Structure 1
Amino acid sequence: MVIPQVVSRQRVADHGEVYTHPREVNAMLDLVRHETERIESRFLEPACGTGNFLVEIVARKLAVVKAKYAKTQLEYERYAAIAIGSVYGIELLADNVLACQQRLFLLFDQQYTQLYEARCKQACRETIRFILRRNILQGDALTLTTVAEPTEPIVFSEWSVINDGLIRRRDFKFAHLINRADSHSLLLFSGSGEETCLREPVKEYMPICLFALATQE
């Protein structure tokens, strides 16, 4: 689905909303191709709109997941969840947030259905939806707060696979994550796993099975 670059003149006037053309999106992402094709590499789009950048990043990551793990459904499901969980978006407009979440979900679900047909698990789909609700948020990247509650900080979840195949979730304030980051970088939780260990999570969760992840709502 191709999103037009301008939805309406009013939205341009009110919010400066102009979407980047796929040609430019891909040209920019090609500059960091090695990161876009690394499953665990995390990206943030601080004004994500309906997800033009995030959709292309996820498409590249899912191609890698398919190539490496498609022969084993559980491994595919686990690493597809990590790939989806590696992209983050902030957007002022509620309709754009929902559209971005839906585009990313459909990208996953089309590949998942094509690969496994009747063996697809509804619990896996619910997990992906849950991750997207945690990662694509309505907020203001300048004030670092949510739109619904302007005094509430934006909080993102970090997702990782631990040794026994369970999924670990840790929540971090966005403001804390960018204190040491390059303000021009799309990378979030940048660097190795040790880098985020230097930052204090606001909440840590017990490792849990992929298919039970949505119970941590």
Structure 2
Amino acid sequence: MHSNRHIKSKQRVADYGEVLTPPHIVAAMLDLVKQETERIDSRFLEPACGTGNFLVEVLRRKLQVVQRYYAKSQLDYERYAVLAVSSLYGIDILADNVEECRRRLYQTFDEAYTALFGAKTKAACRATVRYILSRNIVHGDALSLQTVGENPQPIIFSEWSLVSGSRLKRRDFAFHEMVQRASMRELPLFSDSGEEVFIPEPVKEYPPVHFLEIGEE
């Protein structure tokens, strides 16, 4: 049974079914897919992300892996820490949850980054992380597949991939098309491991940009 500290208000529970998952349950659930949480580029989507309890823990685990392999090179650490952040996606119907989720994810990155590199940390790297989080954590309704507001629009997610070393390639996908194609099992493609996957056409593609310049957008 959830304690009251995992409930913001009874009204929000009644209106939105909002109950925040406590940390020990988050950890236990993620341990079931432990190998994926430790892959830097494995993508996670939380369709009712709340304030980010699941996503923050995934990022914490990913950053531990980045530190283990790349702590001796600041540029390598920055590159793969940004990739770890870019692999996380969330949707929430409540605007304050979205802001808090972005803030917590940024803080998780920033604390790890600052602990390693101190005064050598770069404003451009922080700007990149903030921009990616603004794209990846969406104020929307995962049931209607649209944003929330006066003029709802289809939810668009950005896929980020490292190419040519330090460049990030961005492709935007309509969330409703991803859901439809997956449910209809169309466009059979295969990953490097041979696993069948289903990828719709992007609604927009961008030229690769150095990852430290992403925040300039």
Tell me the TM-score normalised to structure 1 length.
0.90
| 3-state SS, counterpart of residue 4 of structure 1 | helix
Cα distance between partner residues in 2 of 1:51 and 1:198: 26
Does the alignment pair 1:144 with 2:145? yes
Counterpart residue identity of residue 24, structure 2? R
Counterpart residue identity of residue 50, structure 2? G
1:150: Cα distance to partner? 5.1
Does the alignment pair 1:179 with 2:175? no
Cα distance between partner residues in 2 of 1:25 and 1:144: 25
1:186 aligns with none
| 3-state SS, counterpart of residue 5 of structure 2 | coil
| 3-state SS, counterpart of residue 116 of structure 1 | helix
Cα distance between partner residues in 2 of 1:78 and 1:156: 20
Q: How do 1:42-121 residues align onto structure 2 when only pairs under 5 Å count?
A: 42-121=43-122
Describe the superposition over 1:106-144 as per-residue Cα deviations: whole angstroms up to 9, x where unpaired.
000001001000100001001000000000000000010
Tell me the TM-score normalised to structure 2 length.
0.90
- Structure 2 unaligned regions, length at least 5: 184-189
Does the alignment pair 1:205 with 2:180? no
Q: 1:77 to 1:197 in 2, by over 3 A?
A: farther
2:129 aligns with 128
| 2:52/2:101 contact within 8 Å kept | yes
Counterpart residue identity of residue 162, structure 1? V
Moved more, 18-27 or 171-180: 171-180
| 3-state SS, counterpart of residue 153 of structure 2 | coil
| 3-state SS, counterpart of residue 125 of structure 2 | helix
1:8 aligns with 9
1:211: Cα distance to partner? 1.3
Counterpart residue identity of residue 97, structure 1? V
1:15: Cα distance to partner? 1.1
Higher relative contact order (CA 8 A, sep 6+): 1
Counterpart residue identity of residue 26, structure 1? A
Describe the superposition over 1:128-163 as per-residue Cα deviations: whole angstroms up to 9, x where unpaired.
000000000000000100002554100000011102
Structure 1 runs of 4+ with >3 Å offset: 191-198
1:165: Cα distance to partner? 2.0
Structure whose alpha-carbon radius of gyration is higher? 2
Q: What percentage of aligned pairs have identical amino acids?
A: 56
Cα distance between partner residues in 1 of 2:104 and 2:7: 18
* CA RMSD of superposed structures (Å): 2.2
- Structure 1 unaligned regions, length at least 5: 183-190
Say how many residue pairs are matched.
Answer: 208
Looking at secondary structure, tell me which structure has more strand per residue: 2
Cα distance between partner residues in 1 of 2:78 and 2:215: 15
